């Protein structure tokens, strides 16, 4: 077998469209305990089954009264009401507040029968079993009526909502112990190359540790997927074919290495035989040898083997696909307009992604080589140089897309 150069490169926008057109949101759902659903995607509408609160309740510590009994009350002309008892939170007073009476009540307690307002304790004084009221109230003051928060039959949450802490609180108020959410898509990860060995194995000459499966797993997990590391794939046709078919049994498969044009890079050939390849080779630097296709409807990515190329293209191409698969909304890019901290020259016939660190309002290049993971380790974001732009002068205004 001889080396075969890339015959045609796909531009970034076209590649992303091809990916998004061929990734379908997950349909499987699961019941998850309420204390584990934050950030998950709701699988069904939520309708209130009862009023929240389910009873009229005091919203202040004080005294439940008939508002009419406080008419004309001021600091100079207070009214006096007989205290008929005390009701703590979680208790229910069995009696009724009559004319000229008051019930001491705690915040959150059900309003007793006959009362329609709460006098705040700050507006009162005690004289034995009599409360002196210094403020006139209107009916409904300092109390929350039943259903003020949610009424029975209210549409509270919609299917597809990404559950925030506030949404979890609404579900808790409605008594949910567990919630139906969409499953996190299972994304199989494979590394390849005879030089790649797992962590914990002593390195022999010519060997390096597996980096990409860990960075890929981090990208997948942070974008709503469930990474499933499947190990290191051997560089022979049978192993590549078996790995691709194994990936097709997951919701998505991601391979690093094996998608370039070397004599042992079999991944593209086997993908063309087993499924559909929508592009192989993208017009970006780093990361040209990126492949995307499907096998039996399962999206399959072939990512570059160099760690920086792999991680960079994971942010650009893989992360949006995982989010779509997981039913998460696209992540909004956070862009800063900064000055370049030094002159930078970088020539290429492809669109370039150059990682930078941000320091005191300026951007400084940290990109080294495609094989150097610290090109990403110390990066806050990246700048994009269009085809034909090879120099950025010191002090020139640029756009930095933050990685996090």
For residue 342, being part of any structural domain is answered with yes
pLDDT tens for the chain, residues 1 to 404: 344 455 689 999 999 999 999 999 999 999 999 999 999 999 999 999 999 999 999 999 999 999 999 999 999 999 999 999 999 888 899 999 999 999 999 999 999 999 999 999 999 999 999 999 999 999 999 999 999 999 999 999 999 999 999 999 999 999 999 999 999 999 999 998 888 888 888 989 988 889 999 999 999 999 999 999 999 998 889 999 999 999 999 999 999 986 555 434 689 999 999 999 999 999 999 889 999 999 999 999 999 988 888 999 999 999 999 999 999 999 998 999 999 999 988 878 899 998 899 999 999 998 766 556 666 788 899 999 998 888 899 999 999 999 88
Q: Which CATH number belongs to the domain containing residue 166 in this structure?
A: 3.90.105.10
Q: Which two tokens stand for residue 162?
A: 């990404």
For residue 4, being part of any structural domain is answered with no
Q: How many domains does the chain have?
A: 4
Q: Are residues 173 and 136 in the same domain?
A: no
For residue 174, being part of any structural domain is answered with yes
Q: Are residues 195 and 211 in the same domain?
A: yes
For residue 339, being part of any structural domain is answered with yes
Q: Are residues 259 and 166 in the same domain?
A: no
Assign 3-class secondary structure to the chain. Answer: CCCCCCCCCECHHHHHHHHHHCCCCCCCEEEEEHHHCCCCEECCCEECCCCECCCCEECCCEEEECHHHHCCCCCCCCEEEEEEEEECCCCCCCCECCCCEEEEECCCCECCECCCEEEEHHHEEEECCEEEECCCCCCCCCEECCCCCECCCCEEECCCCECCHHHHHHHHHCCCCEEEEECCCEEEEEEECCCEECCCCCCCCCCEECCHHHHHHHHHHHCCCEEEEEEEECCCHHHHHHHHHHHCCCCEEEEECCCCCCCCCCHHHHHHHHCEEEEECECEECCCCCEEEEECCEEEEEECCCHHHHHHHHHHHHHHHHHHHCCCCCCCCCEEEEEECCCEECCCCCEEEEEEEEECCEEEECCCCCCCCHHHHCCCEEEEECCCCCEECCCCEEEEEECC
Q: Are residues 166 and 194 in the same domain?
A: no
For residue 163, being part of any structural domain is answered with yes
Q: Which two tokens stand for residue 380?
A: 């806050």
Q: In terms of residue numbers, what domain contains 73?
A: 57-144
Q: Are residues 304 and 385 in the same domain?
A: no
Q: Are residues 206 and 290 in the same domain?
A: yes
Q: Are residues 321 and 194 in the same domain?
A: yes
Q: Are residues 262 and 219 in the same domain?
A: yes
pLDDT of res. 304? 92
Q: Are residues 191 and 285 in the same domain?
A: yes
pLDDT of res. 223? 97
For residue 261, being part of any structural domain is answered with yes
Q: Are residues 314 and 343 in the same domain?
A: no
Q: Are residues 178 and 199 in the same domain?
A: no
Domain's final residue, options 293, 325, 357: 325
Domain's final residue, options 126, 144, 162: 144
Radius of gyration (C-alpha) of the chain in whole angstroms: 32
In the block, residue with structure tokens 């992360």: 319
For residue 47, being part of any structural domain is answered with yes
Q: Could you give the CA distance from residue 198 to residue 215 in angstroms, rounded to a whole number?
A: 14
For residue 5, being part of any structural domain is answered with no
Q: Are residues 69 and 47 in the same domain?
A: no
Q: Which CATH number belongs to the domain containing residue 384 in this structure?
A: 2.40.340.10
Q: Which CATH number belongs to the domain containing residue 125 in this structure?
A: 2.170.190.11
Domain's final residue, options 292, 325, 358: 325
What pTM value is reported for the model?
0.86
Residues 6+ away with beta carbon under 8 Å from 118? 58, 59, 60, 62, 63, 64, 65, 105, 111, 137, 141, 142, 143
């Amino acid at each position: 077998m001889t080396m075969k150069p890339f015959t045609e490169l796909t531009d970034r926008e076209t590649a992303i469209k091809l990916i998004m057109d061929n990734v379908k949101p997950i349909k499987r759902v699961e019941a998850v305990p309420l204390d584990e659903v934050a950030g998950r995607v709701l699988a069904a509408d939520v309708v209130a089954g009862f009023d929240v609160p389910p009873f009229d309740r005091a919203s202040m510590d004080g005294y439940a009264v008939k508002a009419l009994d406080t008419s004309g009350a001021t600091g100079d002309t207070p009214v006096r009401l007989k205290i008929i008892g005390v009701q703590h939170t979680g208790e229910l007073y069995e009696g009724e507040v009559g004319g000229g009476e008051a019930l001491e009540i705690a915040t959150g307690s059900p309003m007793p029968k006959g009362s329609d307002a709460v006098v705040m304790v700050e507006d009162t004084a005690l004289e034995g079993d009599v409360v002196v009221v210094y403020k006139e109230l209107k009916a409904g003051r300092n109390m929350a009526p039943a259903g003020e928060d949610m009424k029975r039959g209210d549409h509270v949450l919609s299917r597809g909502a990404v559950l925030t802490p506030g949404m979890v609180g609404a579900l808790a108020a409605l008594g949910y112990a567990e919630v139906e959410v969409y499953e996190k898509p299972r994304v199989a990860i494979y590394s390849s190359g005879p030089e790649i060995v797992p962590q914990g194995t002593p390195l022999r000459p010519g060997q390096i540790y597996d980096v990409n499966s860990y960075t890929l797993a981090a990208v997948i997990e942070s974008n709503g997927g469930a990474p499933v590391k499947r190990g290191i794939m051997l560089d022979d046709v049978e192993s590549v074919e078996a790995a691709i078919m194994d990936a097709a049994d997951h919701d998505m498969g991601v391979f690093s290495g094996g998608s370039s044009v070397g004599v042992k890079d079999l991944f593209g050939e086997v993908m063309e035989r087993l499924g559909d390849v929508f592009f192989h080779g993208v017009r970006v630097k780093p990361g040209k040898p990126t492949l995307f296709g499907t096998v039996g409807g399962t999206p399959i990515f072939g990512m570059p083997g160099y760690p920086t190329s792999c991680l960079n293209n994971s942010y650009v191409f893989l992360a949006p696909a995982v989010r779509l698969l997981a039913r998460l909304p696209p992540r909004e890019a956070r862009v800063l307009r900064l000055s370049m901290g030094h002159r930078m020259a970088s020539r290429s016939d492809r669109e370039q992604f150059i990682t930078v660190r941000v320091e005191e309002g300026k951007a400084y290049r940290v990109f080294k080589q495609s094989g150097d993971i610290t090109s990403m380790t110390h990066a806050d974001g990246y700048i994009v140089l269009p085809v034909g732009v090879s120099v950025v002068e010191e002090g020139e205004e640029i756009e930095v897309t933050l990685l996090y």
